[in-house]
A and B are shown apart, each in its own frame.
Chain A
């Protein structure tokens, strides 16, 4: 179970960073809904796990947060990407694309292609 969370958390962090990059400042529920909308039912993740992740990202300096008012005037914590976070996002996007490309190439290769 732990392993699964680890994998998910790695990708989840990237999703959070990308969401903030696209949407700008956003509160937790907004991020959660956005991830849900984009991934659909494919990603069945407990939305609660998002919050420890946000805390961790903030501790690492990738995102920053402050209290503010939500659309319907509720008190909520708003997150935004920091400069470090942006750099991290770029790097991780590159890494991810690279990994995906490698994996994709592995899948394309058939037995008869091998010398």
Chain B
């Protein structure tokens, strides 16, 4: 308490300090006058009277200062003084200040930019209450290498009754078609369990969400719509609740509108922007019957019981899995090794982007470090230039700690100003910069320059300023007074310690930039290899345009129920599209078959039972399957290796046929000819026709699933034998992408005016966007590497220039004694090369560690690729030589006479 009171008195003194000081001064003057009068009365001469009075009073100035120091807040007062002084010093050498501030602005700005992306994607909690309770549940069959196989309805019930979760929900993202008014509109829709919104813990702004206890087996015809859809398509009708829309030819009763702030969960921006949710029990039409062995292709999210950590929940799930396996041995054959895995929902949404982002953050951290090292180097260089100033101030009695504090204030001010400048630039340019962020980045819309990001920028610059400002401050103030003061007029040489530190800093800088350049080089090579990969199909001049057939809840009302019904529509539509100008060839497939056009979660995995191997296939492997029209292979330019493609005589009434790729042949029929082999397809397609399917052809492996991996086993089925709802039409020819989509729309709607037409894209664009995250991280790392190289070049230039200045007398003497100018040049260059060599040595070790860590991000290039390591080292050496060359030339052209005389 007493301390607190004293502090407040001090604080008030600090505020009223000048007034108290004024009073002291007045009173002391008064005292002096009275004492002088007294002395005069005692008979002294006026001069003597004043002298004696002053002696008696003591050193008034010192007393006052002492009082101020004791009663005020000397730290704060000094700080104000220091800041004022620091600003003056900063303005006195504007060039130096500008360079330091710009360097730090670059470092802090870039770091903050990447941090804002990481903040939004990795650090920000999901926008739902108690986000830590949300998990994604995945079932895997590691025994047959199948992941995320989905759950059957009985399994889901087991999960729900396990007591581990408050609620669990299936969800499935697709597109729906809204008809009834004007142009049929495609809307982003989700089919969900009625518990979906209860799992997320969100409520409607208008009406209600689904009743989590709703037990309707199929679709209950209730839908919830998003605020955006309500405003865009329904004119924000305030009485919308209770009205009926027509979605995929079904009546859909709107029961609620979600708030404008609601963002759905999902891996893509499209899923996050879901506009319509339809509730279903997933056990009646159009879903499969609820048999334990029949798994749904849907994703599952759940909310854990409060207080249950994901790890504990995983433990209980493992126990549940073990008991289910014991109870139903027939459904869980041991070779499948069925497991259930919980992932925190936030983590599962970010997926594999995490690695790229961490890499970027590491890279930008190195740039920041290099900026700091550079600035520290500049501060040290300036410190030796200010040696005399420091010496004089110390000689006049300034305490060393006081000088350190003042120098530290100066550098901290520079760092913070740099950080603020970097943040300001980032803030102004945020719209511009966001363009470069790939659209496929999850939670892209959450990226913002928030207070948290500002706090990060400030913390980073203060921390950097503290670490990199303190050491130069200490070194600057540690001087040999006599030696420094004696070197009158001459540019004084900094202490040995400080020049050694400067060398270490430059070596560190070079090493760091080498690490960054190796990382950038490896990423560049990976990207280049991916970009130039032999695709195995030909995307040029091919466009894909999507449409979707209605998927009514009651199959009997579906006019495209069978393949025969659908093929009438398809053949007519294709015939019409082929008549459009410039269209040379056409084909159609389901959307899973768009090359590189979908994510991992969009795959259609079908259990594959090989005839003659049923015994072994008790747990059949899952195969990635697409449904395509016969022309598909031709339009995409795929190569037939054996057998035949689909033909026009393959119809719903003729035996079912399939084409597989070489990878599937290698995997499932090793050392055999797969053509003529028969498989039985279970599961999702099983409902339509569980007949045997004959493999009629094998095509060469193509990068249709992943640019990095051509050998994903694939099976293609004939669209004229198996119906599909989500379609992609392909056109090959020199068409104008902008104009053609309207023409295609007109042709499709001439056949069925109720179909939506959307998403026109050239396959080259699809290809480019599948590379976008890779391209983004590659470009960013390359940019950072170039920045680092420039900074390191500046650093070595500064150091060598400084060395030349320091050694100018020595050089002059050498020249005067007859040294060849060539030798002087070589001598200086050698110093630069020594630094570069040491930096490269340290850097190569660091680069080996880093490249080892980033091996999983690479494609087609070894993390220890010799050519990249050698090339980068060569570039670094070249930059070091170039940067040393200018000061070396200056040293060579030194005029010995003027140099020695000026000394």
Contact = CB atoms under 8 A, between A and B. Distances in A.
A106 B850 CA distance: 75
B79 interface: no
B23 A55 contact: yes
Given A29-B35, A46-B59, A59-B9, A52 B30 contact: no
B58 to A, nearest CB: 3
B10 to A, nearest CB: 10
Interface string B222-259: 00000000000000000000000000000000000000
A52 B24 contact: yes
Contact of B56 (A47, A55, A76): A47
Nearest to B56: A47
A48 interface: yes
A52 B30 CA distance: 14
B63 A48 contact: yes
Interface residues of B, number: 24
B611 interface: no
A67 B66 CA distance: 25
A51 B56 contact: no
A90 B31 CA distance: 29
Counting chain B CB atoms within 10 Å of each CB, the highest count among A27, A59, A70 belongs to: A59
B584 interface: no
A46 B35 contact: no
Given A28-B27, A52-B63, A77-B27, A47 B34 contact: no
A28 B27 CA distance: 8
Interface of A: 27-29, 32, 46-49, 51-52, 54-56, 59-60, 70, 72, 74-77
B37 interface: yes
Counting chain B CB atoms within 10 Å of each CB, the highest count among A46, A49, A51, A75 belongs to: A51
Contacts of A51: 24, 27-28, 31, 63
A51 B26 CA distance: 10
A51 B66 CA distance: 12
B495 interface: no
14 contacts: A29-B31, A29-B35, A32-B31, A46-B59, A48-B57, A48-B58, A48-B59, A51-B31, A52-B24, A55-B20, A59-B9, A72-B37, A75-B30, A76-B34
Contacts of B71: 52, 55-56, 59
Nearest to A71: B34
Nearest to A33: B38
B804 interface: no
B67 A29 contact: no
A28 B31 CA distance: 7
A59 B17 CA distance: 13
B60 interface: yes
Counting chain A CB atoms within 10 Å of each CB, the highest count among B24, B34, B59, B67 belongs to: B34
Given A52-B24, A52-B66, A28 B56 contact: no
Given A52-B24, A56-B71, A72-B37, A28 B30 contact: yes
A40 B544 CA distance: 109
Contacts of A72: 37
A91 to B, nearest CB: 15
Counting chain B CB atoms within 10 Å of each CB, the highest count among A47, A70, A76, A77 belongs to: A47
B33 interface: yes
Contact of A29 (B23, B34, B70): B34
Contacts of A29: 30-31, 34-35
Nearest to B60: A48
B92 to A, nearest CB: 36
Contacts of A59: 9, 13, 71
A33 to B, nearest CB: 8
A69 B34 CA distance: 13
A22 B66 CA distance: 30
B381 to A, nearest CB: 40
Contacts of B66: 52
Nearest to B30: A76
Contact of A55 (B31, B35, B67): B67
Nearest to A53: B67
A49 B30 contact: no
Interface in B6-55: 9, 13, 20, 23-24, 27-28, 30-31, 33-35, 37
Contacts of B59: 46, 48
B570 to A, nearest CB: 95
Contacts of B37: 72
A74 B26 CA distance: 12
A32 B35 CA distance: 10
A13 to B, nearest CB: 14
Given A46-B58, A46-B59, 4 more contacts: A28-B31, A48-B28, A51-B63, A55-B67
Query: Top 4 A-B pairs ranked by shortest CB distance?
Result: A46-B58, A52-B67, A48-B58, A29-B34
B53 to A, nearest CB: 9
Nearest to B20: A55
Contacts of A46: 56-59, 63
Nearest to B37: A72
A55 B24 contact: yes
Contacts of A32: 31
Contacts of B13: 59
A54 B67 CA distance: 11
Given A47-B58, A55-B24, A70 B67 contact: no
